[in-house]
């Protein structure tokens, strides 16, 4: 074995930039192709990963002297990390010890519809004292998460979420870890404050762009990516003013304590790396509404290798990560020199810092291999198969969000807004007729953004959650290959719970 040389450390970042330059090709199949390659299901390993998750009230300590009543899986926030290898079956017994119904949703994992955990759509809500067994074979390796899908603005807010990692079949050459960011709205004693006491959001909490464009590797440095956002939301522009006329429950709950893996700023456990080591950091944003920003404290670059669990065909290199709600980013950190550094972001009460400490020395391992994005037909010129228009019910006195004119009824029947033929690539148009950004999430499928306001987007990744900017029209393509009844909704949990959800069907 050779010791790491300077070259072996520097090469990958250069290589990534080069790969990136030539990789923004768009497939040219101009017709809908029902025989388009459906990702093959993984080969079963025969292993069954079993967990039992009990939802109940508990007290968690966010830092010394600050404890709060949480609703948690197995009394920890985040809940236990679930790890499986691609090809393993997963069997989770859920027991609900809350005073109200609940379910678990496996965010981003393309599970069968009956296992998806959406009350009234996939299953009956699990009553207090009840149990439900979720069983499925995760079809894609990557970073996912699980969370309650009932009254999410309270249940997830209070802590009912956890990380779910599907490891690839080939043994990883680098260590990895999950970093779940969250924010809490608490009084000085740690009591949860109502959403109406929400702190005003900052520009970055609401816009948060970046995601699809960031995946275009030719734009190597992410620094410019807030440009559009700052233009729209900076100062008292079109967005900033409007937002404050929308009540907090509708606008989103922005907290005053930020945590990583349940620990508040100043008490976040450091990542300990050996000099020369590469480490796969899996970031997940479990916040209700807040977008988090993390920057290298010393400006050093890192490579983003996967978004929403799915490996990028061309990773990109940046020194800044912007994490909208519900999204996951897998990042390779490199201890290229012997110096400690940190990933840090936010200001004031929202500041957060993940320290990185160097101890000892090791060999530098190869970068993980990149994914191959499935070929997809070019539907930019096609007319959309479905249009979802998002706005508030009233500009002057908003009480809910509406999709195609209708707020979602959490307890009742809802119309199916679109039915897609199984196995087809469909084009969905999202029209944001509101002055706020929305993080649109589809269940059971991945999407790829193809245009924003008619402008071509060369994203090279598939995402389960995409940010739609204020007043933007966004076209996405999706392979409708997972049969059943599904929902799509905004992952700002306060938007979701106040109507911004719709049903669709694949048959």
State the minimum distance, in angstroms, from the CB of residue 489 to Cu ion: 8
- Identify which of 177, 181, 175, 150 has the alpha carbon closest to the alpha carbon of residue 77: 181
Closer Cβ to ligand C2O, 469 or 495, answer by number: 495
Q: Which tokens is 244 given?
A: 């404050």
The residues in 92-121 that bind ligand C2O, with binding defined as CB under 6 A, are 105, 107
**Could you tell me which of 293, 322, 324 has the C-alpha nearest to residue 467?**
324
By rule CB under 6 A, what string of x and - marks binding of each residue 148-167 to ligand C2O? -x------------------
Q: Are 91 and 133 a contacting pair, CB within 8 Å?
A: yes
What minimum distance in Å lies between the beta carbon of 227 and Cu ion?
Answer: 22
Written as six digits, the tokens of 463 are 């995402």
Whichever of 51 and 489 has its CB closer to ligand C2O, that residue is 489
The single residue among 321, 492, 502, 503 that binds Cu ion, judged by CB under 5 A, is 492
Alpha-carbon distance of 166 to 11, in angstroms, equals: 28
Out of Cu ion, ligand C2O, none, which partner does residue 452 contact, by CB within 5 to 8 A per kind?
none
Residues 147, 253, 448, 452: which binds ligand C2O (CB under 6 A)? Answer: 147
Neighbour tally for 412: CB within 10 Å? 7
**56 bridge partner residues:** 72
* 438 contacts Cu ion (rule: CB under 5 A): yes
Q: How far apart are CA 486 and CA 123, in angstroms?
A: 11
Which entry of ligand C2O, Cu ion, none binds 151, CB below 5 to 8 A by partner kind?
none
DSSP-assigned letter for residue 471? T
* 327 binds, options Cu ion, ligand C2O, none, Cβ within 5 to 8 A by partner type: none
CA separation for the pair 330, 167 (Å, rounded): 12
Q: In terms of CB distance, is 148 or 492 closer to Cu ion?
A: 492
For position 490 contacting Cu ion by CB under 5 A, the verdict is: yes
443 binds ligand C2O (CB under 6 A): yes
Partner whose footprint covers residue 438, from ligand C2O, Cu ion, none (CB < 5 to 8 Å by kind): Cu ion
Q: Is 427 in the site for ligand C2O (CB under 6 A)?
A: no
Three-point CA angle 486, 371, 118, nearest 5°:
15
The DSSP symbol for 406 reads: B
Q: Are 466 and 491 in contact (CB under 8 A)?
A: no
Separation between Cα atoms, residue 108 and residue 464, nearest integer Å: 6
Kindly state the smallest distance separating residue 472's Cβ from Cu ion, in Å: 12
Of these partners, Cu ion, ligand C2O, none, which one is at the site of residue 292 (CB under 5 to 8 Å by kind)? none
Picked from ligand C2O, Cu ion, none, the partner binding residue 107 (CB below 5 to 8 A depending on kind) is: ligand C2O
d(CA 267, CA 271): 12
Answer with the entry of Cu ion, ligand C2O, none that 495 interacts with (C-beta below 5 to 8 A by kind): Cu ion
d(CA 122, CA 120): 6
Q: For Cu ion, which stretch binds (CB under 5 A), given 100-108, 116-124, 274-282, 431-439?
A: 431-439
Applying CB under 5 A, which residues contact Cu ion?
438, 490, 492, 495
Applying CB under 6 A, which residues contact ligand C2O?
105, 107, 147, 149, 326, 441, 443, 489, 491
């Amino acid at each position: 074995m050779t010791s790491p040389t300077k070259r072996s450390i520097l090469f990958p970042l250069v290589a990534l930039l080069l790969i990136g330059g030539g990789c923004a090709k768009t497939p040219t199949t101009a017709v809908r192709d029902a025989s388009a390659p459906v990702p093959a299901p993984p080969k079963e390993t025969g292993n069954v990963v079993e967990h039992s998750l009990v939802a109940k009230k508990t007290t968690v300590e966010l830092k010394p002297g600050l404890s709060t009543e949480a609703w948690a899986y197995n009394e920890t926030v985040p809940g236990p990390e679930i790890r499986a290898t691609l090809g393993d079956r997963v069997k989770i017994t859920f027991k609900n010890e809350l005073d109200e119904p609940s379910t678990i949703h496996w965010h981003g994992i393309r599970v069968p519809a009956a296992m998806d955990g959406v009350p009234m759509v996939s299953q009956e809500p699990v009553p207090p004292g009840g149990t439900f067994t979720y069983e499925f074979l995760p079809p894609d390796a990557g970073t996912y998460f699980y969370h309650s899908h009932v009254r999410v603005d309270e249940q997830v807010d209070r802590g009912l979420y956890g990380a779910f990692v599907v490891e690839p079949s080939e043994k990883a050459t680098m260590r990895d870890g999950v970093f779940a960011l969250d924010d809490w709205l608490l009084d000085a004693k740690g009591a949860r404050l109502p959403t109406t006491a929400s702190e005003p959001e900052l520009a970055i909490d609401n816009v948060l762009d970046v995601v699809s464009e960031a995946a275009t590797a030719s734009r190597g440095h992410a620094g410019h990516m807030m440009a559009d956002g700052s233009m729209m939301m900076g100062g008292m522009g079109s967005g900033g003013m409007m937002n404050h006329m929308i009540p907090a429950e509708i606008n989103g709950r922005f907290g005053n304590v930020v945590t990583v893996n349940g620990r508040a700023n100043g008490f976040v456990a450091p990542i300990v790396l050996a000099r020369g080591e590469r480490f796969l950091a899996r970031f997940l944003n479990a916040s209700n509404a807040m977008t988090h920003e993390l920057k290298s404290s010393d400006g050093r670059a890192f490579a983003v290798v996967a978004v929403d669990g799915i490996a990028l065909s061309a990773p990109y290199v940046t020194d800044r990560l912007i994490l909208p709600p519900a999204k996951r980013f897998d990042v390779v950190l490199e201890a290229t020199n012997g110096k400690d550094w940190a990933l840090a972001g936010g200001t004031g009460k929202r500041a957060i810092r993940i320290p990185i400490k160097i101890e000892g020395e090791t060999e530098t391992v190869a970068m993980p291999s990149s994914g191959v994005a499935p070929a997809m037909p070019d539907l930019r010129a096609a007319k959309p198969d479905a249009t979802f228009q998002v706005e508030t019910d009233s500009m002057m006195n908003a009480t809910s969000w509406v999709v195609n004119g209708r707020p979602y009824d959490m307890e009742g029947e809802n119309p199916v807004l679109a039915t897609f033929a199984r196995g087809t690539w469909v084009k969905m148009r999202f029209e944001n007729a509101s002055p706020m950004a929305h993080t649109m999430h589809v269940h059971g499928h991945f999407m790829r953004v193809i245009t924003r306001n008619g402008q071509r987007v060369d994203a090279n990744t598939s995402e389960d959650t995409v940010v739609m900017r204020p007043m933007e029209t966004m076209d996405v393509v999706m392979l409708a290959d997972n049969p059943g009844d599904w929902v799509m909704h905004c992952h700002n949990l306060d938007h979701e719970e106040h109507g911004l959800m719709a049903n669709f069907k694949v048959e």
